[in-house]
């Protein structure tokens, strides 16, 4: 497959694995890159820049294909050592960074000077245009259905992607709700140059997470996600569980008076407990509506090969027959 995204990142297929806290370790990133996509290590899951440097070395031992690092810019009082993480990325000769969260403007120049390509993940056309204007090479456009933080505009991909296609000059990938060859063919039809997937990649053999998480994803339907932290304007789409129900009840009772401190038990320090220990009810963890389309736990290579062959059959077969 050849799109602006495969060319930009020197990859075989336009399929990216988005950064995922406590999921995006070297094992998953290397598996995705080895299968012809772009694997991404989640930078902030590594506690220090030195840890990230070690994770990059580990990934390089597992693949000689290009892979990236996700840097999520959080709205926090005590920001992580972003310059240190960027140094680890540059010194590790990583060629792609997926930025997400706040505007990455302060760091884009340093990355670009070092020859790193920047793909910024955002949830609106205005933020995508901003990313384009500050020099990002591509964007990942995350629709309302996505796992993680869908923003506050609630625009689903059937509207967001063609809007992005009409407005942007730089290439973009469709993110949120992508699971299979139908998703890829649809994303390309809507003007995207590829897809970014989160939730789907968790239910793969190589994803270094507890079996309980993979089973929960396979068992869940598209009705099982909830939006939390909306009153804090930090909306996150998560899989429903006992902690999420508790959190939503607090939101209902406290209304606009709710503060982060009120929900610490449900959201802080949750990821290692869920992903490593398999304690599914430990708190709120990101998950997309796409769970409704996930029914198995293939290897990453099986998944990517299947997506590519399905999309090819749709494009060459079904769509051609319809207009023939």
Residue numbers of the site for ligand FMN (CB under 6 A)?
18-21, 23, 42, 70, 72, 100, 121, 142, 145-148, 175-178, 196-200, 285-288, 290
What is the spatial distance between Cα 10 and Cα 136, in angstroms, rounded to a whole number?
Answer: 17
Phi and psi, residue 262, nearest 5°: -70, -20
- In the complex with ligand FMN, the residue whose CB is nearer, 170 or 252, is 170
Shortest distance (Å) from residue 90 CB to ligand FMN: 20
Give the N- to C-terminal CA distance of the chain in Å, as an integer.
23
What is the spatial distance between Cα 324 and Cα 182, in angstroms, rounded to a whole number?
Answer: 20
- Rounded-to-5 percentages of helix, strand, coil across the chain: 50, 15, 35
Shortest distance (Å) from residue 297 CB to ligand FMN: 15
Tokens matching residue 290:
């796409």
Shortest distance (Å) from residue 113 CB to ligand FMN: 23
**What's the chain's Rg over C-alpha atoms?**
19
Shortest distance (Å) from residue 216 CB to ligand FMN: 11
Tokens matching residue 87:
């140094």
What is the spatial distance between Cα 181 and Cα 314, in angstroms, rounded to a whole number?
Answer: 8
- In the complex with ligand FMN, the residue whose CB is nearer, 34 or 225, is 225
Shortest distance (Å) from residue 238 CB to ligand FMN: 9
**What is the number of the residue whose Cβ is closest to ligand FMN?**
198
- In the complex with ligand FMN, the residue whose CB is nearer, 48 or 64, is 48
- In the complex with ligand FMN, the residue whose CB is nearer, 260 or 316, is 260
- In the complex with ligand FMN, the residue whose CB is nearer, 28 or 263, is 28
């Amino acid at each position: 497959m050849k799109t602006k995204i495969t060319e930009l990142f020197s990859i075989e297929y336009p399929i990216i694995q988005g950064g995922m806290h406590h999921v995006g370790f070297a094992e998953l990133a290397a598996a995705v890159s080895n299968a012809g996509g772009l694997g991404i290590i989640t930078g902030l899951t590594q506690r220090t820049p030195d840890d990230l440097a070690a994770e990059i070395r580990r990934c390089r031992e597992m693949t000689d294909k290009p892979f990236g690092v996700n840097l999520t810019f959080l709205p926090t009082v005590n920001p992580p050592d972003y310059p240190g993480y960027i140094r680890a990325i540059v010194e590790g000769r990583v060629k792609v960074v997926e930025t997400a969260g706040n505007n990455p403007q302060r760091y884009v120049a340093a990355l670009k000077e070092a020859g790193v390509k920047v793909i910024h993940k955002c949830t609106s056309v205005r933020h995508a245009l901003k990313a384009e204007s500050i020099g990002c090479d591509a964007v990942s456009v995350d629709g309302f259905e996505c796992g993680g933080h869908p923003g506050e505009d609630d625009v689903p991909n059937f509207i967001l992607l063609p809007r992005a296609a009409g407005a942007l000059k730089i290439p973009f990938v469709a993110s949120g709700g992508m699971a299979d060859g139908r998703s890829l063919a649809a994303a390309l039809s809507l003007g995207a140059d590829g897809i970014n997937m989160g939730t789907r990649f968790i239910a793969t053999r190589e994803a270094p997470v507890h079996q309980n998480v993979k089973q929960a994803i396979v068992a869940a339907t598209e009705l099982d996600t909830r939006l939390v932290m909306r009153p804090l304007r930090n909306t996150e789409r998560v899989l429903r569980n006992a902690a999420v129900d508790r959190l939503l009840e607090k939101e209902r009772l406290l209304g606009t008076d709710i503060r982060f401190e009120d929900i610490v038990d449900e959201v802080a320090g949750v990821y290692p407990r869920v992903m490593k220990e398999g304690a599914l009810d430990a708190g709120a963890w990101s998950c997309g509506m796409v769970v409704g389309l996930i029914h198995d736990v293939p290897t990453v290579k099986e998944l990517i090969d299947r997506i590519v062959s399905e999309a090819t059959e749709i494009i060459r077969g079904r769509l051609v027959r319809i207009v023939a």
